[in-house]
Structure 1
Amino acid sequence: MERNWSTLCLSPAFWGRGLTLAWKALLAPYVVDGHLASLIIIATALIAAFSWNSRLVVRHRTGLLRGIAVAGAAGSFVIVGQAFGTLPAAGTLALVAAGTNTCVNLLIILAWSQVFARMPMASTGLVLGISYIAGAAFFFLFQLLPAPVQAGCALLLAPASIGCVQLCSALLDLGESRTRAEERDGAAATGNAPTGRPVRDEAAPPTTAALLRSYPWRMVLVIVFFAFAVGINRIHSTPQIDVFGAGLAGVIITLCTALTAVKVNPFVLYRAIIPVMLAGLLISILAGPHSLPAQIAANASYAFSHLLLTLLLCDKAYRFNAPILFIYGIGRACMGAAYLLGALCAEALESWLAFNPLFSVEVLYGIVLLGSVVAILSWVSRREYLEVFQNRAPETPEAPTSETTAPGAPVPVEAIPEAECKSTPSPSEQATTHPAVAPVRTRGEISRTELLRAMIERRCGQIAREYRLSKRESEILVLLAWGKSSKRIEEALCLSPNTVKTHVRHIYAKLGIHSRAELDALVDTPANRS
């Protein structure tokens, strides 16, 4: 299906995420107090996160999507009535309508996250960037229209965004069904027809405790620092500045993903986007927290944090088959809590400055900026995070086992699970793993190791295309070629043991081999020939 991504990304249906941005900005002057809105966002995100294993998967529930659309339209109707004076501007009805719109906005974003979790990172970045640009253009276009027309648009934007979610899901389902049909035809042509249900459905769902243990907390912590900083500075912003900053972020994200689409990964995005966000904080410090350049920079940084969170977590869900509702809900709740804490700190400082003029909010900004740099350096210094981004298992020594199989001995397909867990390291693993006490490696040794990795990946890619392996099977093939055991593959790809065993069986059947020695011979790397 990868060959169809460029066509899908250009479909206007995938830009429907921008309608939510325009809808939120149009109703921003009439929504509830910012602190209450943050509390609603935190509560909604946490409820969605911890109900990830229920039947309320948004993109599969047509009735739920229609309910969200109706609730958004009803809330917009009440708010528009308040704006035109036909409904009271205060009271319980106004509070409920504004709170409903805040909740609906987050639910629509969660629905879109389930769409983006089915797409590669390069396509998701391109779609998100274009959506933010389109949303900003819609908003400023609506500002030129008469007030009644703006009101009508506000009523239709939420249902239109939900309709785009359903249309995009249908397009992705159609593309995946075509891909599965092509894989079945290819497998039948080679005599390796798949049996049983798809492997993706055989994995036992992980527990919530396991998801919390494997959650990318360091990655989210860096973004949380930015949300805290923006919460300090953004309390005097306007919808126009918000949307302009979001559109600017969309332009940069689009350019970044378009220029690095061939090798885009989370680490590349961090290196490209984090400096821009740090520059936004620095401008806020130098220009003053309430100046126009500072507000634009702060809002662009906040939009960047949303985009980066969506891209990183949707990529994790796409590559590791993780529940996007859980990982995105937790991340969005953390961002909402950090933003709320920043706003409360700013208000406390403003009231305290009257009694202590020697202290200023710039000092707090400096602390946040320093904390962000420390968090980023701490995160990128962990080599295993970069390796996981590149679908590599962490380079730690394997624990020795008392029972091993003889090198090169054939292993029956029926005995693969037990044999793989006890297999001895292959030559490729000996070339890529460290001993118990790793010696200092020279630059030439490091270059040879990286070259060997690249050769193994390239050869595995050729094998995957030749034998029509699925994306997940291709990832496991690379790890097998590196000599990783089943346990290491489970940890690297966050899969259950049964899923890994089933994938290995299918790979061996499609390749027509029965042992690791035959796989090494098929890959035929320099390490295997030496």
Structure 2
Amino acid sequence: MPWLFVMTALLPIVSLASARKGFALLPEGERPQKAWVSISVPWKIILLMGFFAFSYGIVEANAYRGYFGPHSSPGTFAVSGVVLLGVLVKRDKFDFNTLCRIALPLTVVALFLISVLGFTDDYLSGFCVAGGYTAFSILIMVLCSNLCYRYGVSAIWLFGMERSLRLVFMFLGRCMYEYGSVITVGSVRGTTIASGIAILAVVMGMFFLLSQKELSSKWGASFLVGPEGNGEAVRKQELADRCELLAKRFGLTSRETEVLILLAQRKTVGMIERELYIANGTAKAHVRHVYQKFDIHSREELFDLLGVDGLQENVEAKNAG
């Protein structure tokens, strides 16, 4: 525990120092500029994570009575391996909705095995608990990272909100299990009732998640004009929305969509290479594919298609108003 405390205290300091050094390596014109924008919390994905954390809290105590801890469980290793293999094989075509289809059945099975059927020391219970929770945790990180990338939201702020609410729901799940273990309603144990509530919440949440057409949705967040100096941030958000709509209409891949957003921001091929960590030939190939699918031949035609100049005028008018 003392070493855990020391490393936990050092981690933020080392991370900030590394980030500062990394940004210093960027040319002056490519460094991100701070701009304050009013934003509401993307409550939909955070609430979904809360449902899983609640379920995790209910079954957590009994799930790890065996040989494996919460972060070394074979379930965590297995799900992480599936994601890694999927990304290596499918690359940018990997469908992260797959994680939903992994997380839901594993969590439901774990709730039944532990709280309903009473298999408190069963190896399969721990495997399912850790696997389901790991799958949805990875999905939440992908969704939050996408919001940060597309809209320039502070990752520290967004992930901090998500993590805080997750811990609150996990604590509520633990409390529900502790009180449920000493309470019965008729002939039904309190833990069984708690598990039923958790299963209902998870199933409803997952159906809602799978009903979303795009993982790049705003998830309940709204991005508003705030104090002076944030026009560029608002323009970037609206431009990304337009790019997403066109990408869906013309059948662009996820990587081509990323390239399109950067092209719309007037970034050169060299800038795109550095930002996406891809080779020169690969970046040019993506640009060529975007042009072919849009049936255009120049950056000017792309700007006309996106209405970039008109978008800039709209933002300036909003700020002036």
Q: Same fold (TM over 0.5)?
A: yes
Query: Among residues 476, 479, 486, which one is paired with 2:311 in the alignment?
Result: 486
The residue that corresponds to 2:268 in the other structure is 468
The residue that corresponds to 2:195 in the other structure is 365
The residue that corresponds to 1:337 in the other structure is 168
Query: Among residues 183, 201, 204, which one is paired with 1:352 in the alignment?
Result: 183
- Give per-residue Cα distances to partners, 1:127-147, cap 9 Å, x unaligned: xxxxxxxxxxxxxxxxxxxxx
- How many percent identity over aligned positions? 12
Equivalent residues of 1:314, 1:324 under 8 A apart? yes
Query: Among residues 194, 197, 200, which one is paired with 2:32 in the alignment?
Result: 200
Task: Find the aligned partners of 1:261 and 1:171 in 2 and give their Cα distance.
Answer: 29
Equivalent residues of 1:227, 1:305 under 8 A apart? no
- Give per-residue Cα distances to partners, 1:142-186, cap 9 Å, x unaligned: xxxxxxxxxxxxxxxxxxxx5xx5897589558x63xx5xxxxxx
The residue that corresponds to 2:102 in the other structure is 276
The residue that corresponds to 2:93 in the other structure is 263
Query: Among residues 335, 354, 378, which one is paired with 2:208 in the alignment?
Result: 378
Displacement of 1:310: 2.7
The residue that corresponds to 1:325 in the other structure is 156
Task: Find the aligned partners of 1:275 and 1:455 in 2 and give their Cα distance.
Answer: 25
Displacement of 1:369: 2.0
Displacement of 1:360: 5.0
Residue 240, structure 1, aligned to residue 68, structure 2 = yes
Q: Which structure has more RCO (C-alpha within 8 Å, separation ≥ 6)?
A: 2
Q: SS of 1:200's equivalent? A: coil
Aligned length: 257
Equivalent residues of 1:224, 1:338 under 8 A apart? yes
Residue 453, structure 1, aligned to residue 258, structure 2 = no
Equivalent residues of 1:241, 1:296 under 8 A apart? no
Residue 296, structure 1, aligned to residue 127, structure 2 = yes
Please provide the CA RMSD for this pair: 4.6
Amino acid at match of 2:53: A
Distance change in 2, residues 1:360/1:258 (3 Å): farther
Distance change in 2, residues 1:256/1:171 (3 Å): farther
Equivalent residues of 2:54, 2:172 under 8 A apart? yes
Amino acid at match of 1:486: L
Equivalent residues of 2:179, 2:190 under 8 A apart? no
Equivalent residues of 1:456, 1:482 under 8 A apart? no
Task: Find the aligned partners of 1:216 and 1:329 in 2 and give their Cα distance.
Answer: 13
* Higher Cα Rg, which structure: 1
- Give per-residue Cα distances to partners, 1:410-458, cap 9 Å, x unaligned: xxxxxxx9xxx9xxxxxxx9xx7xxxxxxxxxxxxxxxx9885337996
Unaligned runs of 5+ in 2: 219-230, 236-241, 276-286, 291-298
Displacement of 1:106: 8.5
- Give per-residue Cα distances to partners, 1:273-319, cap 9 Å, x unaligned: 11211121222134334232112211222233333333322332233
